[in-house]
Chains A and B, each alone.
Chain A
Amino acid sequence: MTSTTMAHDAAHGAHEHGTYSGGIMSWITTVDHKRIGVMYFVSAFVFFLVGGLEALLIRLQLGSPENTMISADLYNQLFTMHGTTMVFLALMPLSSAFFNFLIPLEIGARDVAFPRLNAFSFWVFLLGGLLLNASFLFGGAPDGGWFGYANLTSTTYSPGMRIDFWVFGLQVLGVSSIASALNFIVTIINLRAPGMKFMRMPPFTWMTLITSFLLILSFPAITIGLVMLMFDRTFGTGFFNPAMGGDVLLWQHLFWIFGHPEVYILILPAFGVISEVIPTFSRKTLFGYPFIIFSGILIAFLGFGVWAHHMFAVGLGPLANSVFSAATMLIAIPTGVKIFNWIATMWGGKLRLDTPLYFAIGFVAMFIIGGLSGIMHSSPPTDLQQTDTYFVVAHFHYVLFGGTVFALFAGAYYWFPKVTGRMLSETLGKLHFWIMLIGFNLTFFPMHFLGMEGMPRRTFTYQAGLGFDVMNLMATVGAFILGTSMLIFLWNVIRTLRKAPDAGRNPWAAPTLEWSLPSPPPHYNFRTIPEVHARDPLWHEQDADIDPEAGDVPEPHMPSPSLWPIGLAAAIILGAVGGLMQSLPVVLAGAALIIICLYGWAFQPLER
Chain B
Amino acid sequence: MSHDATMEHHTATGVPHRKLLMWTFIGSECMLFGSLITAYLVYRGRSVTGPYPEELLNIPFITVTTFVLLMSSLCMVLALSAVQRDSRGGSRLWLLMTALLGLVFLGGQFYEFSHFVHEGLGLSQNLFSATFFLLTGTHGAHVAIGVTWLLSLLGLELRGKLGSEHAEIVEVAGLYWHFVDVVWIVLFTVIYLLVGV
Contact = CB atoms under 8 A, between A and B. Distances in A.
Interface in A227-271: 227-228, 231, 235-239, 243-247, 250, 254, 257
B53 to A, nearest CB: 14
A355 interface: no
B189 interface: no
A245 B52 CA distance: 13
Interface in B1-36: 1-7, 11-13, 15, 17, 20-21, 24-25, 27-29, 31-32, 34-36
A219 B30 CA distance: 12
B36 A231 contact: no
B146 to A, nearest CB: 14
A217 B27 contact: yes
A191 B21 CA distance: 13
B164 interface: no
A233 B39 CA distance: 18
A221 B130 contact: no
Contacts of B39: 224, 228, 239, 250, 254
Contact of A603 (B2, B12, B21, B129): B2
B126 interface: yes
- Size category of the binding interface on chain B: 35 or more
A224 B35 CA distance: 7
A114 interface: yes
B81 interface: no
Contact of A192 (B12, B24, B126, B127): B12
Interface in A91-120: 110-111, 113-114
Interface stretch (B43-51, B62-70, B100-108): B43-51
A218 interface: yes
B134 interface: yes
Interface in A101-147: 110-111, 113-114
A379 B48 CA distance: 37
A559 B7 CA distance: 11
- Size category of the binding interface on chain A: 35 or more
A113 B24 contact: no
Chain B facing A: main interface SS: helix
Contact of A220 (B17, B28, B123): B28
Contacts of A192: 12
A250 B25 contact: no
Contacts of B4: 605-607
A114 B25 CA distance: 14
A62 interface: no
B197 interface: no
B35 A221 contact: yes
Contact of B124 (A190, A228, A238): A238
B24 A186 contact: yes
A111 B12 CA distance: 14
5 contacts: A113-B21, A190-B15, A239-B39, A245-B48, A250-B42
Interface of A: 110-111, 113-114, 178, 182-183, 185-186, 189-192, 196, 216-221, 223-225, 227-228, 231, 235-239, 243-247, 250, 254, 257, 557, 559, 599, 602-607
Sort A-B residue pairs by CB-CB distance and give the 4 closest, nearest first. Answer: A220-B32, A237-B130, A220-B31, A216-B28
Interface of B: 1-7, 11-13, 15, 17, 20-21, 24-25, 27-29, 31-32, 34-36, 39, 42-43, 46-48, 123-124, 126-127, 129-131, 134, 152
